[in-house]
Structure 1
Amino acid sequence: MRDTRESRLLLVLLVSIAFALITMDIRGGDDSPLDGPREAAASFFGPVEEGVAGAVDPFANAIAAVRDSGDRHDRISELERENAELRQELGSDAHRESRIAQLDELLQTAGAGRYGIVGAQVIAIGAGQGFSWTVTIDAGSEDGLARDMTVLNGDGLVGRVTTVAKGTATVLLANDPGFTVGTRLEGSEELGFATGRGDNTLEVQLLNQRAEVEKGDRMVTFGSADNKPFVPGVPVGEVVGVERSNGDLTRTVQVRPYAAFTQLDLVGVVVDPPRDNPRDSVLPERPEDAERRAAENDAEAEEEGAEEGEANEEQGAGDEGAADDFPEPDGLAPPDEDEGGDEGEDGGQGTEFGALAPGRERDSTASRS
């Protein structure tokens, strides 16, 4: 459109009309003469605006979503990071509690057998030096470790030290086929030799082919000369199978070890053997023995409570008797029946006042004479 004189005049005219209408609307206030045309225009253009908005909103929302996607992605990443941190914290707490429980059991076992130990953690597992079942621990010669030392945990025998470096050591596990340890059966004292089988059982050859053994019997280490490689009294395992004696010189039994070789974490290396053989004292308490002991403790507690209750009752009865025997104060005790307790001449009862007026009887006698 060319910039002509007519177009400029038209523009000035339109601006003047708009200014006049605005001035008229402002001065009219609530009674503006333009309210009617305004409502008519709103009723006409309102549906048009809604239709246009409905058609445009999806595109506007898409543009807003694209614009806000970066912020949302950052928020999602932040929430995922916080979730991972919480999971790690919960996992750390559970792991810490597990380590505390393992350490407590290890110290209890070492204390029961009077074993001086150096604590260590399993840091690697795998075959080594021709053996199939070995682990590496984070303690070595600088911690006082040497070859042929007994390794145990809170459950029982783990193995023996085979090689030692400055800060690490290799432990041959008891379930390795090349592992052998002397054993002693609980109670009967029957001796034997336990050998690993590469799984979670040990095979024990009892020296006495007629040894009486059954499932549930327990074994401990017999011990070695100079306590190397094994100290005595370390729990080995529980009998789970007994083979029939076929005339062999030995009797074979299968033993399930107490230690879980696939779940090793904290272990202890015995650097100071006990002075005396602990024999069976390190074995864990049987469940039935624990239940019986708990029942006995409950019975003793009930008996002590009953005796204490009877003693309290007797003490209460004694206190009541002592209160009854408490002497009355002088001058307040009631007189005997033959002292001032008879009726007076006036027919009144003299018992109540006899003790308070001891001269009354003399006065009455004098008056009679």
Structure 2
Amino acid sequence: MIPRGRVVVALVALTVVVLGVDVSRPAVTAPLREAAATVVGPVQRALSADPAPEVTRLTQERDALRRELQETRAQVHDGRGLTDLLRSPPARGRSLVPARVVASSAVGTPERMRRVTIDVGSRDGVTTDLTVICVDGLVGRVVSVAPWTSDVLVLGGRDVTVGVRVGKHRTLGWVSSHPVPGLPPRGPRDLTLTLVQPGSTRVGDRVTTLGSVGGRPFVAGVPVGTVTSVDPAHGQLGQTAVVRPAVDPSTLDVVGVVVSSPRETPRPAVTGAAS
């Protein structure tokens, strides 16, 4: 076995000889240098290359994929929302312009003044005084229209009074957010129901829209809310009660604007028959 010391001395001596030959006769060691450069050069370039452009490219690709994923998720969400809306009782048999809520009144705005903005407008066939619904029932009515957006005054707004039918007997009445003198105070979202024909209501009665002439501003049969308490009689012209709206404006997403067509065919006359 060759001693380690001799090996080291031999390697040092060989290195000195190679360096001496390289200095005195570079042509002799040129092939060796070229071979080393061929092997080591690519590694050196890879190690010394600036990584910034590659990192930037990969970052841009990652961000683009993230945006595509978010858009796909939004489309899936909107598709599910629209499917649920079209299958809901409020939408049954109605022609709708689907829309998304894209803005709402600022935080702190009184419930009685709340509006939402939807992403459809005059270019989509929307006009003022059309009914807006969602899966749960009545949202409100369109009050202003731009080419691509519309503002909706939600149920409970100070200018929204809705004719309704109440309970299984379909008693006529109306609901409004206006306070009635002498009645107990209402909650922030609660409405006051006033019956306008003889009859009574009870807790749990379902309240639906009566409907307007030509379906503007409200079509008939849309859920408005549920009676949660009945006021004691204090000489009112009609019984009053508290109604909790079916729709919470703070949770609105996908909605539908009901497109009403005026009746063009005359209603035929009928003849009664004595029993």
Question: TM-score surpassing 0.5?
Answer: yes
Question: In structure 2, do the counterparts of structure 1 residues 97 and 240 end up closer, same or farther at CA, with 3 Å as the change threshold?
Answer: farther
Deviations 1:11-31 (A, max 9, x none): xxxxxxxx9x738xx9xxxxx
Cα distance in 2 between the residues matched to 1:111 and 1:237? 12
Give 1:120's aligned residue: 99
Give 1:244's aligned residue: 232
Q: How high is the TM-score relative to the length of structure 1?
A: 0.47
CA contact (8 A) 1:115 1:274 kept: no
**How far 1:96 sits from its partner (Å)?**
5.2
**How far 1:167 sits from its partner (Å)?**
1.3
Q: Please, which of 267, 274, 278 is the counterpart of residue 255 of structure 2?
A: 267
Deviations 1:270-304 (A, max 9, x none): 113597xxxxxxxxxxxxxxxxxxxxxxxxxxxxx
Q: For 1:200, give the aligned amino acid.
A: R
Question: In structure 2, do the counterparts of structure 1 residues 273 and 192 end up closer, same or farther at CA, with 3 Å as the change threshold?
Answer: farther
Question: In structure 2, do the counterparts of structure 1 residues 273 and 238 end up closer, same or farther at CA, with 3 Å as the change threshold?
Answer: farther
**Alignment partner of 1:151 is 2:135:** no
CA contact (8 A) 2:200 2:239 kept: no
Cα distance in 1 between the residues matched to 2:154 and 2:192? 14
1:24-173 aligned at under 5 Å gives the runs 93=73, 98-109=77-88, 113-126=92-105, 132-173=113-154
**How far 1:161 sits from its partner (Å)?**
0.7
Higher relative contact order (CA closer than 8 Å, sequence separation 6+): 2
CA contact (8 A) 2:123 2:147 kept: yes
1:208-223 aligned at under 5 Å gives the runs 208=197, 211-223=199-211
Cα distance in 1 between the residues matched to 2:162 and 2:168? 19
| Structure 1 unmatched ranges of 5 or more | 1-18, 27-70, 276-369
CA contact (8 A) 2:229 2:243 kept: yes
**How far 1:177 sits from its partner (Å)?**
2.2
Give 1:188's aligned residue: 169
Cα distance in 1 between the residues matched to 2:244 and 2:77? 23
Question: Which structure is larger by alpha-carbon Rg, 1 or 2?
Answer: 1
Q: For 2:6, give the aligned amino acid.
A: I
Q: For 1:22, give the aligned amino acid.
A: R
Question: In structure 2, do the counterparts of structure 1 residues 144 and 90 end up closer, same or farther at CA, with 3 Å as the change threshold?
Answer: closer
Q: Please, which of 190, 193, 214 is the counterpart of residue 204 of structure 1?
A: 193
Cα distance in 2 between the residues matched to 1:200 and 1:96? 31
Deviations 1:70-109 (A, max 9, x none): x9xxx9xx9xxx8xx88x958974x555433321221123
Q: Share of identical aligned residues, percent?
A: 37
CA contact (8 A) 1:103 1:154 kept: no
Deviations 1:292-321 (A, max 9, x none): xxxxxxxxxxxxxxxxxxxxxxxxxxxxxx
Q: How high is the TM-score relative to the length of structure 2?
A: 0.62
Q: For 2:249, give the aligned amino acid.
A: F
Higher-helix-fraction structure? 1
Question: In structure 2, do the counterparts of structure 1 residues 273 and 240 end up closer, same or farther at CA, with 3 Å as the change threshold?
Answer: farther
| Structure 2 unmatched ranges of 5 or more | 11-50, 179-186, 264-275
RMSD, matched Cα: 3.6
Give 2:40's aligned residue: none
**How far 1:174 sits from its partner (Å)?**
0.4
CA contact (8 A) 1:113 1:233 kept: no
Question: In structure 2, do the counterparts of structure 1 residues 250 and 111 end up closer, same or farther at CA, with 3 Å as the change threshold?
Answer: closer
Give 1:226's aligned residue: 214
What secondary structure does 2:86 align onto?
A: helix
**Alignment partner of 1:255 is 2:243:** yes
